[in-house]
Structure 1
Amino acid sequence: MQNFTTRDGCTIAYRDTGAGEETLVLLHGWSQSQAMFDRLLGLLGPELRVITYDIRNHGESGRTDNGARIATLATDLNELLDHLGISQAHLLGHSMGASVLWSYIDQYGTERLRSLVILDQPSVCVTMPWMDPAEITQSGAILDFAGAEGFAQALLGADSATARRSFLTSMLTPDVPEDDFAWLYEENLKLAMPYGAKLLIDHVMQDWREVLPAIDVPTLVTGGEVSHVAPTSQEWIASRIPGAKLRIFSRTEGGAHFPFFESPKDFADVLVEFLSSATER
């Protein structure tokens, strides 16, 4: 594990493995960590250089009261690429990590992107007042304002641990082994409150739909047939990104919110095939 320090003094823990000419950067989701990609890493082959890192206040990265915003996390990513001297990379964002990538593209464009992988993230999480019923269905919004506020309050309350356990349960297939669940839960708890609740609210209140048509690099959008994120929302995202490919994982392929953890071989096969096609352009 290595570290670098952001412009505002936060230490970011990262791993830099492999020595291939092509670089892949993996971004985890809210209350998760880079360690959740460990099962995937050994399946990607030696021809890739793979970067994983813990988003600020997650995993083994530093703790700070600053930057509970998706835009800040996108700037952290840009600084990490600068720190590692990476001019171009394939970027994969899981869950909130996808929102970080959309924010990155919104702020910095796609010049540094070789390709993009979006993994099971709605383009809008909360139903907004300006959305009609068709837009709500298309986007896959999973909360209303009251639901977002209620979840944040639960995270800050005396029964926060139960709320977090229930949320994690909703993101996994019923077949997940108990020891896997216990490990994932412990990684989730590394994100402390109130920072976690602040970041959650900023995350779910974003509307990324206008960014999608501006994505001009090879893109793979993935979802799961038993995920809490509606697969139709991933189909809609793919339809809005020019030339994007779509892959929905079945339940037997770990097709809830963590296919790379529950069925890493199936996910790795799809990812490696996509990256190979993206590098041929």
Structure 2
Amino acid sequence: MIAVDPRSQGESGKTTYGHLPESRARDYKQLVDRLGLEQPVLIGWSMGCGELLSYVEQFGEDGVGGLVLVDGLIPAQSPAIVSVLEGWATLLQQDRRKEADIFVRSMYKTPKPEEYLQRVIRATMEVPTDTAVTLIHNMDAVSDFTKAFARIHRPMLYVYEPALQPSADYMKAKLGDKVRLVRFDGEGHALFVDDPIKFNRVVYEFVESLPK
């Protein structure tokens, strides 16, 4: 397994440009090509879901074994969601540390050690505030995945918490039997942390079922 720190996040370089979903998708494609990966299964969480759909829109899926989308807003645009995200972007610029603390704690439904939470908060704070606001804006701005859906022919897995049932319904309506839906009841946005055993089993079974 290869874990990727996207541009301006984690230990990757912090840049002042290239934070559009299509730009970050090109970063992933460059990594796949540079490492010579053959039919990799790409897994995206949260805003990474839209970035992987942009990957397929730009490059197709001939070189991809499958896609796993984890708890992403697809699409992000609805009046209620836009209002929440716009308000959050403003709050981030007013008190980044406070909002990072609130957001990280909200990602989990099961208790986590305080040391662990503080480590995640510190990692979140590594992303420059202006970049964080830009990423939220760019994620929210994408509302049309028609071109990406048209290029999807291989199976896709979408795992999600109950709050994202509208996204699951939307994807099912657009992709039909091409997408497999697995709902995690009782888990939060970081559902792979809340229930790692179930998450790993679901992903493993999906990967094993892919056409060889």
Match of 1:220 among 148, 157, 180: 157
In the alignment, is the contact (CA less than 8 A) between 2:68 and 2:156 conserved in 1?
A: yes
Equivalent position of 1:276 in the other structure: 208
Q: Does the C-alpha gap of structure 1 residues 250 and 150 become closer, same or farther in structure 2, counting only changes over 3 Å?
A: closer
How much does 1:156 deviate?
Answer: 1.8
Report how many residues are paired.
210
* Structure 1 residue 261 corresponds to structure 2 residue 196: no
Q: Does the C-alpha gap of structure 1 residues 117 and 242 become closer, same or farther in structure 2, counting only changes over 3 Å?
A: same
In 2, the alpha carbon distance for the partners of 1:147 and 1:248 equals: 23
Match of 2:54 among 103, 112, 117: 103
Q: Alpha-carbon deviations, 1:243-267, whole Å to 9, x = none?
A: 221111121xxx2111222221111
In 2, the alpha carbon distance for the partners of 1:88 and 1:51 equals: 13
Match of 2:107 among 149, 162, 171: 171
In 1, the alpha carbon distance for the partners of 2:9 and 2:202 equals: 27
Equivalent position of 1:74 in the other structure: 25
> Does 180-189 or 166-175 show the bigger shift?
166-175
- What residue identity is the alignment partner of 1:247? V
Equivalent position of 1:247 in the other structure: 182
In 1, the alpha carbon distance for the partners of 2:122 and 2:51 equals: 23
- What residue identity is the alignment partner of 1:152? A
In 2, the alpha carbon distance for the partners of 1:111 and 1:215 equals: 10
> Does 146-155 or 104-113 show the bigger shift?
146-155
In 2, the alpha carbon distance for the partners of 1:220 and 1:149 equals: 29
Match of 2:207, SS? helix
* Structure 1 residue 185 corresponds to structure 2 residue 118: no
Q: Give the number of the structure whose residues are more often strand, by fraction.
A: 1
Equivalent position of 2:165 in the other structure: 231
1:1-281 maps to which residues of 2 (within 5 A)? 50-127=1-78, 143-144=81-82, 146-157=83-94, 159-173=95-109, 175-210=111-146, 211-225=148-162, 229-243=163-177, 244-251=179-186, 255-280=187-212
Q: Alpha-carbon deviations, 1:115-168, whole Å to 9, x = none?
A: 11111112122326xxxxxxxxxxxxx522x433322222222x1111222222
Q: CA RMSD in A?
A: 1.9
5+ residue gaps in structure 1?
1-49, 129-141
Structure with more relative contact order (C-alpha pairs < 8 Å, separation 6 or more) = 2
Flag as ranges the 4+ runs of structure 1 deviating above 6 A. none
In 2, the alpha carbon distance for the partners of 1:149 and 1:127 equals: 12
- What residue identity is the alignment partner of 1:260? F
In 2, the alpha carbon distance for the partners of 1:182 and 1:106 equals: 37
5+ residue gaps in structure 2?
none
How much does 1:73 deviate?
Answer: 0.2
In 1, the alpha carbon distance for the partners of 2:117 and 2:91 equals: 21
How much does 1:236 deviate?
Answer: 3.0
In 1, the alpha carbon distance for the partners of 2:28 and 2:164 equals: 28
In 1, the alpha carbon distance for the partners of 2:208 and 2:173 equals: 22
- What residue identity is the alignment partner of 1:248? R
How much does 1:66 deviate?
Answer: 1.6
In 2, the alpha carbon distance for the partners of 1:117 and 1:238 equals: 14
